[in-house]
Amino acid sequence: MAFLSRWSVQSLVDRSYSRPRVVLVAWALVLLFAGVELRNLTIDTTIGSALDKAGEPWTDYQRSLTLFGGDEFVSIALAPSEEPFSKSALKTVLALSDELEQIGSVRRVDSLSTVALIRSEADGSLLVNPALTDEAVASKHARSKLAEQVRRDRIAYHSLVSEDGRVFGVNVVFDEDVDGNREATVSEIAAVLSHFDGAVMSGVPVVRAEAGLLTRSEIVRLVPGTVVAIAIILALSFGRARATIPALAVGGIGTATCLAAMAVAGTPLSFSTAVLPSVILALACAYAMHFLTAESRSIDRADTALELKAVAGPVALSGCTTALGFISMGTTNVSLIRDLALFGALGVFVSTVACLTIVPALLSMFPATGERTPRIPGALEMRLGPAWTEAVLKRRKPILFCWLAALFVCVVGLSGLQVSSDVIEWFPRGGELRASYAQITDRLSGITPVNVVVIPPAGSSAVSPEMVRQLAAFSAAAESHPAVGKSLSVADPLAMMHREIGDGDGLSLPSEASLISQYLALLDGVEQLDDVVTPTRDAANVLLRLNENSSEDIRAVEEWVRRWWVLYGVPGSKVDVTGIMYEFARAQDAIAWAGLRGAALAFVTIGLLVAAYFRDFRFLLAAVVINAVPVTVIMGAIGWLRVPLDAATVCVASLAVGIAVDDTIHALAEIRSASEPGETFEKAVVVALPRVMSPLVLSTLAIGAGFGVLATSSIALISGLGLAMCAAVAACLLADLSLLPSLLAGRSQPTRK
Complete DSSP assignment for 355-391:
HHHHHHHHHHHS--TTSPPPHHHHHIIIIIHHHHHHH
161 and 124 co-located in one domain:
yes
What's the whole-number mean pLDDT along residues 609-620?
79
Among 349-353, 627-631, 746-750, the minimum mean pLDDT is found in: 746-750
Work out the pLDDT band at 174, boundaries 50, 70, 90: confident
Residue 190 has pLDDT above 60, yes or no: yes
User: Rounded distance, CA 194 to CA 201, Å?
Assistant: 11
Domain check: are 198 and 212 in the same one?
A: no
CB 698 within 8 A of CB 289: yes
CA angle 370, 374, 377 (to 5 degrees): 125
Collapse the DSSP code of 172 into the 3-class scheme (helix H, G, I; strand E, B; otherwise coil) and give the result: strand
Domain span including residue 197:
73-202
Pairing of strands 540-546, 448-455: antiparallel
Residue type, 58: W
Residues 227 and 304 in one domain: yes
- Residue 370 has a pLDDT of 55
- Would you say residue 751 has pLDDT above 50? no
Angle at which helices 87-100 and 140-151 cross, to 10°: 70
Digit-coded pLDDT (tens) for 691-711: 888 888 988 888 888 888 888
Quick one: pLDDT at residue 576?
A: 94
> Are 659 and 322 within 8 A, CB to CB?
yes
Do residues 253 and 32 touch, judged by C-beta distance below 8 A? no
pLDDT at 3: 43
pLDDT reading at 15 higher than 60: yes
Q: Name every residue whose Cβ is closer than 8 Å to that of residue 1 and which is 6 or more positions away in sequence.
A: 612
Model confidence at 647, pLDDT cuts 50, 70, 90, reads: low
Helical segments of 414-443, H only: 432-443
With 0-12 CB in 10 A as exposed, 13-18 as middle and 19+ as buried, what is 500?
Answer: middle
Amino acid, single-letter form, for residue 586: R
- Taken in order 587, 588, 589, 590, the sign of the CA dihedral is positive
Same domain, 563 and 592: no
Question: Does residue 507 have a pLDDT over 80?
Answer: no
- Does residue 727 carry a pLDDT above 50? yes
Which pLDDT does position 46 carry in this prediction?
Answer: 62
Q: How does residue 1 score in pLDDT terms, banded at 50, 70 and 90?
A: very low
d(CA 612, CA 528): 65
The predicted pLDDT at position 503 comes to 55
Asked whether residue 452 is assigned to any structural domain, the reply reads no
- Do 18 and 364 touch, CB atoms closer than 8 A? yes
Task: Answer yes or no: do 222 and 198 share one domain.
Answer: no
Residue 7 and residue 374: Cα distance in Å, rounded?
30
pTM: 0.81
**pLDDT at 610 (0 to 100):** 80
Written as one letter, the residue type at 114 is: T
Domain boundary among 572, 607, 630: 572
pLDDT at position 161 is 93
Q: 679 with 660, same domain?
A: yes
Average pLDDT in the 173-195 region?
Answer: 78
CATH of the domain at 157: 3.30.70
Residue 61 forms part of a structural domain: no
Residue 369 in this model has a pLDDT that exceeds 80: no
What is the chain's mean pLDDT, rounded? 85
Task: Give CA–CA dist 426/443, Å, rounded.
Answer: 22
Q: Are 638 and 688 members of one domain? A: yes
Distance in angstroms (rounded) separating the CA atoms of residues 415 and 410: 9
pLDDT higher than 80, residue 332: no
Backbone torsions φ then ψ of 374, nearest 5 degrees: -55, 145
> Is 749 domain-assigned?
no
What confidence score (pLDDT) does residue 160 get? 92
Contact, 463 vs 516, CB < 8 A? yes
Assign residue 158 a region (left: φ > 0; alpha: ψ between -120 and 50; beta: otherwise): left
Backbone angles phi, psi at 40, to 5 degrees: -95, 0
> Rounded CA gap, 642 and 647, in Å?
16
Summarised one tens digit per residue, pLDDT across range 282-313 is 889 889 988 888 888 777 888 888 888 888 98
Burial of 8 (0-12, 13-18, 19+ CB in 10 A): middle
| Residue closest to 280 by CA, chosen among 308, 293, 267, 261 | 261
Mean pLDDT to the nearest integer, 674-691: 80
Are both 279 and 352 inside the same structural domain? yes
The amino acid occupying position 21 is R
Q: How far apart are the C-alpha atoms of 606 and 613, rounded to whole Å?
A: 11
As a whole number of angstroms, the distance between CA 278 and CA 703 comes to 9
Cα–Cα separations (whole angstroms), residue 51 to 168, 645, 721: 33, 17, 19
Contact (CB, 8 A) for 439 and 77: yes
**Angle between helix 276-297 and helix 244-265 axes, rounded to 10 deg:** 150
Is-contact 508 498, C-beta < 8 A?
yes
pLDDT higher than 60, residue 748: no
Whether 704 is covered by a domain: the verdict is yes
Of 202, 223, 242, the residue at which a domain comes to its end is 202
Task: Using DSSP, state whether 495 is helix, strand or coil.
Answer: helix
Cα gap 316→309, rounded to integer Å = 11
Q: Are residues 250 and 138 in the same domain?
A: no
CA distance 132 to 601: 61
pLDDT of residue 5: 47
Q: How far apart are CA 286 and CA 435, in angstroms?
A: 40
- What is the C-alpha R_g of the chain? 32
Higher pLDDT, 331 or 484: 484
In a domain, 446, yes or no: no
The beta-strand segments (E) located in 192-326 are 200-202
pLDDT at 7 over 60: no
Return all residues near 733 (Cβ < 8 A) that are at least 6 apart.
660, 663, 696, 697, 700
Q: Is the pLDDT of residue 28 over 90?
A: yes
Please give the Cα distance from 299 to 283 (Å, whole number): 27
Statement to judge: residues 607 and 473 lie in one domain: no
Please indicate whether residue 106 or residue 181 has the higher confidence score (pLDDT): 106
**Confidence label for 331 from pLDDT (cuts 50, 70 and 90):** confident
As a whole number of angstroms, the distance between CA 654 and CA 380 comes to: 30
Listing DSSP states for 121-174 in one string gives -TTS-EEEE----HHHHHSHHHHHHHHHHHHT-TTTBTTTB-TTS--BEEEEE-
Q: Do the domain assignments include residue 77? A: yes
Residues 220 and 318 in one domain: yes
Q: What is the pLDDT of residue 750?
A: 44
Whose CA is closest to 204, among 420, 531, 423, 434? 423
Residue 574 pLDDT > 70, yes or no?
A: yes
**pLDDT band, very low/low/confident/very high, at 752 (cuts 50, 70, 90):** very low
Q: Which of 542, 572, 602 is the last residue of a domain?
A: 572
User: How far is the C-alpha of 249 from the C-alpha of 357, rounded, in Å?
Assistant: 11
Q: How confident is the model at residue 25 (pLDDT cuts 50, 70, 90)?
A: very high
**Does 447 fall in a domain?**
no
- Is pLDDT at 330 greater than 50 in this prediction? yes
> Which residue type occupies 135?
E
pLDDT in tens, 453-490: 999 998 899 999 999 999 999 999 999 999 999 999 99
Residues 556, 695 within the same domain: no
Report the number of distinct structural domains present in the chain.
Answer: 3
Q: Is residue 289 one of the residues assigned to a domain?
A: yes
Distance in angstroms between the alpha carbons of the first and the last residue of the chain: 19
